[in-house]
C-alpha cells in the first residue's frame, strides 16, 4: 500500500501531556506506571491504544503520558477528550491508592532515592541514557511537560516552520511555567523544569545545545550538521548506537523526520487539559502568524541566531510572564511596535488581542477563560508561588498541590483565592 502523504502545515496537531503518579494521601511519587498500563491494556507494553488517545511511559515509572493517537485534525473538543482520559486514569489508580498530579516538577521529590526506570519494553534505551547521563537528577527524573507536534511536507515547509518556532520558543515560559518549587522550597526560577532541563546533558553538551536550535532550514543541513554533531559526540559513550536516533536531540524543538513534524518541548504541563490545550492554541497561533509573515519576513526570521534568542529564554525561565524583554528588534519581529522594554506577558496580551487567529476560547469546566486568568493572575508558576508563600511548610505545599490534583481531576483552572 502507498503510505499516506505527509500533512501540510497546520493540517493537524499532535499533543502529548505528561503527569506524575502520586500517593493519594501523601502525594509522594508512586512508580506504578507499568501496573497502570497493564490494567488499561492487559500487558507491560509501554503504550496502550485507547481510541483517540494513547497512554504511554518514557523513562520514569512515576510518569504517565496521554497523547493524541496520531495528529488531531482540530484542537476543538480536545481538552474534553483528554479530561475524560484523566478521569479514566484516576479511576484505575484509585484502587492502588494513587492519583495524577500536574505541574512541571514534583515539589519535594528526591530523585536520587525515588527514581525507578521503566524496566520492560525498550528498557535498554533508558538504561543507556542512565549510564551516559545519570538520570538520578531532577533534569531527568523530575520533569513533566506538554509537547506540541506540528506537521510539514518538504523542505520549504520545514524551513518556514522551523524558523517560526525558533522565534517563539523564548517566550513560551511566560505562558507555561509551572515549576517554582523543588525540594520543598522556591528555587528562584518560575520555570525550574527548563533550568534543570537545559543542564541535564552537560556530559555531552551538544545534545541540548543552547536549547534554541541552530539556524538550519533544510533536512540535509539538519541531519548533516546538527544531528551528526550530536551523534559524533555520543559515539565514544554509545558505541552500539542505542540512542543514535533523531529523538536524542534535546533542544527546545526537534525535527521528527520519522513522522514529518517538529516537536515543541518547552512547555511545562499545566493544571488541567483545558489549560494545556489553551496554551497550545496560543503557541500554534503565534507560530502560524510568523509562518504567514504577519509580523516579519521569513528571511528576517532565519537571521536570528540562538545566541540572540537565548537571553530572552533565560529571562523567561527565571521570571515567566514578568520577565522583561529588552530587545526592541525581537519585539518588532513579533509585531509589537510599542517599544522596549516590555514584559513577556504584555507581549502575549498584544499577540492574543491583535495578531493571533486563536481557534475559540479556552475555558475550564467552571466556564473561566484561560487567557483572562493568565493576564490577571499570571502563569501557573506565579499562582503556585502566590498560594504557597515565600517560605512554605510541607503542610502548606501539600495543601496547595492537593488542590492542584483536584483541579486536574475536575478540569478547572487553579486560582490562588480558591485554595
pLDDT digits (tens, 9 = 90+) for 152-196: 999 999 999 999 999 999 999 999 999 999 999 999 999 999 999
d(CA 76, CA 71): 13
Taking 70 as the threshold, does the pLDDT of residue 6 lie above it?
yes
- For position 194, what pLDDT does the model report? 98
pLDDT above 90: percentage of residues in the chain: 89
Closest to 131 measured CA to CA, from 204, 205, 62: 204
- For position 229, what pLDDT does the model report? 97
Q: Which residues pair with 264 in a beta bridge?
A: 148, 253
- For position 91, what pLDDT does the model report? 98
DSSP structure class, residue 338:
S
- For position 419, what pLDDT does the model report? 42
What's the predicted TM-score (pTM) here?
A: 0.96
CA atoms in the 13 A half-sphere facing the CB of 365? 16
Give domain limits for the chain: 14-418
pLDDT above 70: percentage of residues in the chain: 97
Taking 60 as the threshold, does the pLDDT of residue 358 lie above it?
no
**In sequence order, which residues have a C-beta less than 8 Å from that of residue 376 and are 6 or more positions away?**
none
Q: Does domain 14-418 have CATH number 3.30.590.20?
A: yes
Arithmetic mean of pLDDT over the chain: 94
d(CA 268, CA 22): 18
d(CA 111, CA 200): 13
Cell 481557534 appears where? 359
CB atoms within 10 A of CB 68: 20
Q: Which residue has the higher pLDDT, 201 or 42?
A: 201
- For position 359, what pLDDT does the model report? 53
Label residue 3 by pLDDT band (50, 70, 90): low
Range in 12-16, 125-129, 387-391 the model is least confident about: 125-129
Cell 473561566 appears where? 368
Taking 90 as the threshold, does the pLDDT of residue 15 lie above it?
yes
Closest to 161 measured CA to CA, from 279, 26, 44, 256: 256
Label residue 198 by pLDDT band (50, 70, 90): very high
Amino acid at each position: 500500500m502507498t503510505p499516506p502523504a505527509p500533512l501540510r502545515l497546520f493540517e493537524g496537531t499532535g499533543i502529548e501531556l505528561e503527569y506524575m503518579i502520586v500517593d493519594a494521601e501523601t502525594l509522594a511519587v508512586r512508580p506504578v506506571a507499568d501496573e497502570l498500563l497493564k490494567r488499561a491494556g492487559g500487558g507491560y507494553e509501554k503504550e496502550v491504544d485507547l481510541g483517540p488517545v494513547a497512554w504511554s511511559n518514557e523513562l520514569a515509572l512515576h510518569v504517565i503520558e496521554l497523547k493524541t493517537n496520531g495528529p488531531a485534525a482540530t484542537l476543538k473538543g480536545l481538552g474534553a477528550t483528554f479530561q475524560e482520559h484523566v478521569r479514566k486514569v484516576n479511576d484505575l489508580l484509585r484502587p492502588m491508592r494513587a492519583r495524577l498530579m500536574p505541574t512541571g516538577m514534583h515539589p519535594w521529590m528526591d530523585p536520587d532515592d525515588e527514581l525507578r526506570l521503566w524496566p520492560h519494553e525498550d528498557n535498554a534505551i533508558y538504561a543507556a541514557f542512565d549510564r551516559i547521563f545519570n538520570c538520578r537528577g531532577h533534569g531527568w527524573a523530575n520533569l513533566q511537560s506538554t509537547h506540541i507536534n506540528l506537521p510539514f511536507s518538504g523542505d520549504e515547509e520545514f524551513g518556514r516552520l522551523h524558523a517560526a518556532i525558533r522565534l517563539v520558543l523564548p517566550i513560551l515560559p511566560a505562558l507555561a511555567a509551572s515549576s517554582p518549587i523543588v525540594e520543598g522550597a522556591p528555587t528562584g526560577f518560575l520555570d525550574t523544569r527548563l533550568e534543570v532541563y537545559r543542564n541535564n546533558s552537560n556530559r555531552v553538551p551538544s545534545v541540548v545545545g543552547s536549547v534554541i536550535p541552530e539556524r538550519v532550514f533544510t533536512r540535509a543541513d539538519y541531519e548533516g550538521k546538527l544531528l551528526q554533531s550530536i551523534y559524533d559526540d555520543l559515539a565514544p559513550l554509545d558505541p552500539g548506537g542505542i540512542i543514535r536516533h533523531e529523538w536524542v536531540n534535546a533542544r527546545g524543538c526537534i525535527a521528527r523526520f520519522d513522522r514529518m513534524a517538529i516537536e515543541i518541548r518547552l512547555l511545562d504541563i499545566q493544571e488541567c487539559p483545558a489549560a494545556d490545550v489553551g496554551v497550545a492554541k496560543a503557541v500554534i497561533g503565534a507560530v502560524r502568524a510568523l509562518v504567514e509573515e504577519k509580523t516579519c519576513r521569513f528571511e528576517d526570521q532565519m537571521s536570528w541566531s540562538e545566541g540572540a534568542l537565548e537571553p530572552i529564554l533565560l529571562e523567561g525561565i527565571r521570571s515567566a510572564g514578568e520577565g522583561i524583554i529588552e530587545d526592541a528588534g525581537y519585539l518588532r519581529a513579533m509585531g509589537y511596535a510599542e517599544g522596549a522594554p516590555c514584559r513577556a506577558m504584555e507581549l502575549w496580551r498584544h499577540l492574543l488581542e491583535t495578531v493571533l487567529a486563536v481557534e475559540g476560547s479556552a475555558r475550564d469546566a467552571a466556564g473561566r477563560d484561560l487567557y483572562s486568568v493568565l493576564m490577571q493572575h499570571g502563569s501557573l508558576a506565579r499562582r503556585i508561588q502566590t498560594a504557597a508563600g515565600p517560605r512554605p511548610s510541607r503542610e502548606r505545599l501539600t495543601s496547595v498541590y492537593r488542590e492542584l490534583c483536584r483541579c486536574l481531576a475536575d478540569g478547572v483552572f487553579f486560582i490562588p483565592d480558591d485554595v
